[in-house]
Chain A
């Protein structure tokens, strides 16, 4: 063995080992799921490196480029599997490009070509000094080289996708290697092979380039998608192992004493069996695990789903869900019953078909959105179902997320609505029936008290005064009770409209002016002409109640001051009088129903104690607050603050068609 030969052989070992180690290290840099294909490439190159060592030993012992056949057992599988695993890596990078069939065909072709040359071509061609096995191995070499090359070319096709020098370096290195290997195979077959020629240089430089490449790989460029390669096991493991076995068996047939080949065959068969066993086991456990966990989860989901369905099904409230395109995606039994959808017929597909009988129909998502965003959580809707009027109470909630839409929950409140209406009518009638005789009583007493019916004794006059006072008090009580009634129904129907603030105050003052005149009280007011969105009648009621209250506690000749202010967020109204003020102990309790401030002159001016409670109800129905203060010098200050609303189309036209009490003449 010459020095040149030894150097070359050692270089071959070193560069090949480097290439293997390089890939191994690369595999460690990646997530474990991405490592296997790279690790396999490293192992395959490692196997090739062992072949190189064996060749070196052979060279040293036999002193010649004999290249015994058993060396092929190392070199061929090394190259072979390098190619296969390179292909795996490529496949993992893109599931769209599937070289499965091509590679399976190439693997089979390698084996077949080897065997054909071995059995068939020997008779046709006679190579001087070459045994049949040598011929077979040499042609297998060539085919494997083609395989390696084609896998490298596939990699090359990905070069643009991998965006980097590493892939190009690998491709270049492999081309070097393949070129030298092919020339070796042919030259050794022809008997002209000599160690240390340019072919040997190629087999050194090739692996060197391959060894450098992984060092240039960045984590970014080799992020392999974690994919399940179990399905590729057949073409990537069993087939190659099987083909290599066949080649080795052919080898052993020539020389039964080939210990190395026999050992390799045994190892490969064992590997194959082991692989098949573990695959079977994997598949079984995987399947049973999958089916077990799927079963449990599916069953749980199904159970939950059925439970949910049953809950929605038996719910007493009607539940309807719609998507943003107004399609009905859910309609439970109660909803069908309330909307009188005959059993056996399909639920209408569109929302407006479901509610088509409703005059103010929530027929599309715009209406639903308005309902959802309105201040009230519940809305009353009148439905005309087969000529019969039904009233439902409806709540609308928006569904966010990918399955966006609305959920409508409603129940039939027809009976309640009827009762409420009947109560309103009774209250209205009764109040009129009470007022009329009361007016007669008050009138008669007034005539007697005024002396129109002749002179009466001072005692009788005192009694008459008591009767007059009591009849007036009874009247106020009736009025306030009716107001409470109205407020209760008003909480459901806040009839908002845009009103100029100054007009609102002027109207209140106009109504109260006669009473103020009687007591010689002056009313002053100041308000901007800005628009506010309030329930005009109710706020008017608050204002008149507060003014009435102020008049009640004002001395003749004093003034009452009204001030309305509007800022960005609130409307504030102040009613200030110059009377006796409110005792500190009453400041809080004054808004409670039937609360009376016990002041010395309360006698003639006392009311039912409901006026301020009504004010509080109305202001709070608007989302505001009302409170009393003691005046700076004298008198009392009543103030309420109402948040300013956005004039919303829905609020301006309430869908509640319920008449309030006393609306019937």
Chain B
């Protein structure tokens, strides 16, 4: 863990975005690029190098699944790990997202401190 990793956080809810950002940036391991929508996320992904994308599923406009597909189309994020955040805790939904090609799925509500561990784990794989 020598360098700071950049996390693109895509979350439409301001509170959750802020809380997650604080939790991830605590300890200096991660730097967070917050995006409030799928569209914004795509713009940021094109202009900034990103180590991992943390992507909410239920969003107005472009939803998580669509954003996921668009990110996979981009050269910059073609192979970037993507972790979903979902409010649907059902195993079937988790299964669906994993099948889609997500590297991990985190269900809401989450322990903000645990999230950092899970992401670190995903990046180390």
A-to-B contact residues, CB < 8 Å: 431-432, 435-444, 446-447, 449-450, 452, 468, 471-472, 475, 479, 482-483, 486, 507-508, 510-512, 514, 518, 537, 540-541, 543-544, 662, 665
Total A-B Cβ pairs within 8 A? 100
Chain B neighbourhood of A541, CB < 8 A? 90-92
A478 → chain B closest CB, angstroms: 9
Tell whether, in the assembled complex, residue A440 and residue B94 are in contact, meaning their CB atoms are under 8 Å apart. Answer: no
Chain A neighbourhood of B118, CB < 8 A? 514
Tell whether, in the assembled complex, residue A540 and residue B58 are in contact, meaning their CB atoms are under 8 Å apart. Answer: no
Tell whether, in the assembled complex, residue A438 and residue B109 are in contact, meaning their CB atoms are under 8 Å apart. Answer: yes
For the complex, what is the distance from the CA of A482 to the CA of B91, rounded to whole Å? 13
Tell whether, in the assembled complex, residue A439 and residue B108 are in contact, meaning their CB atoms are under 8 Å apart. Answer: yes
- Chain A residue, CB-CB nearest to B94: A511
Q: A439-B13, A483-B90, A662-B88 are in contact. Are A507 and B95 (CB under 8 A)?
A: yes
Chain B neighbourhood of A450, CB < 8 A? 23, 26, 112-113
- What mask results when residues 66 to 92 of chain B are scored 1 for a CB within 8 Å of chain A, else 0? 000000000000000000000111111
Q: A475-B109, A665-B58, A665-B65 are in contact. Are A443 and B20 (CB under 8 A)?
A: yes
Tell whether, in the assembled complex, residue A479 and residue B92 are in contact, meaning their CB atoms are under 8 Å apart. Answer: no
Q: Which of B9-49 contact A (CB under 8 A)?
A: 13, 15-16, 19-20, 22-23, 26
Q: Which of B87-125 contact A (CB under 8 A)?
A: 87-95, 98, 104, 108-114, 118
Chain B neighbourhood of A483, CB < 8 A? 90
Chain A neighbourhood of B92, CB < 8 A? 537, 540-541
Q: A440-B13, A511-B95 are in contact. Are A446 and B111 (CB under 8 A)?
A: yes
Chain A to chain B contacts (Cβ below 8 Å), 23 pairs: A435-B108, A437-B15, A439-B87, A440-B16, A443-B109, A443-B112, A444-B15, A446-B23, A447-B19, A447-B22, A447-B26, A447-B113, A449-B113, A450-B23, A468-B111, A475-B89, A511-B95, A514-B104, A514-B118, A540-B92, A541-B91, A543-B91, A665-B65
A447 interface neighbour in B88, B90, B112, Cβ under 8 Å: B112
B19 interface neighbour in A440, A475, A482, A510, Cβ under 8 Å: A440
The verdict on B51 contacting chain A, using a C-beta distance below 8 Å, is no
For the complex, what is the distance from the CA of A507 to the CA of B97, rounded to whole Å? 12
Chain A neighbourhood of B109, CB < 8 A? 435, 438-439, 441-443, 471-472, 475
Tell whether, in the assembled complex, residue A508 and residue B113 are in contact, meaning their CB atoms are under 8 Å apart. Answer: no
- Known contacts A438-B108, A452-B23; 6 further A-B pairs (Cβ under 8 A): A439-B110, A443-B19, A443-B109, A446-B114, A511-B91, A662-B88
Tell whether, in the assembled complex, residue A432 and residue B87 are in contact, meaning their CB atoms are under 8 Å apart. Answer: yes
Tell whether, in the assembled complex, residue A440 and residue B91 are in contact, meaning their CB atoms are under 8 Å apart. Answer: no
For the complex, what is the distance from the CA of A543 to the CA of B22, rounded to whole Å? 36
Chain B neighbourhood of A471, CB < 8 A? 109
For the complex, what is the distance from the CA of A436 to the CA of B17, rounded to whole Å? 11
Chain B neighbourhood of A544, CB < 8 A? 91
B16 interface neighbour in A436, A508, A514, A537, Cβ under 8 Å: A436
B107 → chain A closest CB, angstroms: 9
A508 interface neighbour in B20, B63, B91, Cβ under 8 Å: B91
A435 interface neighbour in B87, B90, B114, Cβ under 8 Å: B87
Chain A neighbourhood of B20, CB < 8 A? 443
For the complex, what is the distance from the CA of A444 to the CA of B110, rounded to whole Å? 10
Chain B neighbourhood of A486, CB < 8 A? 90
Tell whether, in the assembled complex, residue B95 and residue A431 are in contact, meaning their CB atoms are under 8 Å apart. Answer: no
A501 → chain B closest CB, angstroms: 16
For the complex, what is the distance from the CA of A9 to the CA of B19, rounded to whole Å? 139
For the complex, what is the distance from the CA of A511 to the CA of B96, rounded to whole Å? 10
For the complex, what is the distance from the CA of A508 to the CA of B92, rounded to whole Å? 9
Tell whether, in the assembled complex, residue A436 and residue B87 are in contact, meaning their CB atoms are under 8 Å apart. Answer: yes
Tell whether, in the assembled complex, residue B90 and residue A440 are in contact, meaning their CB atoms are under 8 Å apart. Answer: no
For the complex, what is the distance from the CA of A444 to the CA of B13, rounded to whole Å? 14
Q: A511-B95, A665-B65 are in contact. Are A447 and B108 (CB under 8 A)?
A: no
B13 → chain A closest CB, angstroms: 5
Chain B neighbourhood of A510, CB < 8 A? 95, 98
B23 → chain A closest CB, angstroms: 6
- Chain B residue, CB-CB nearest to A548: B91
Closest 4 pairs between A and B when the two form their complex, measured CB to CB: A442-B109, A443-B19, A440-B15, A544-B91
Chain B neighbourhood of A452, CB < 8 A? 22-23, 26, 113
For the complex, what is the distance from the CA of A508 to the CA of B114, rounded to whole Å? 22
Tell whether, in the assembled complex, residue A431 and residue B13 are in contact, meaning their CB atoms are under 8 Å apart. Answer: no
Chain B neighbourhood of A665, CB < 8 A? 57-58, 63, 65
Q: A439-B110, A441-B109 are in contact. Are A479 and B90 (CB under 8 A)?
A: yes
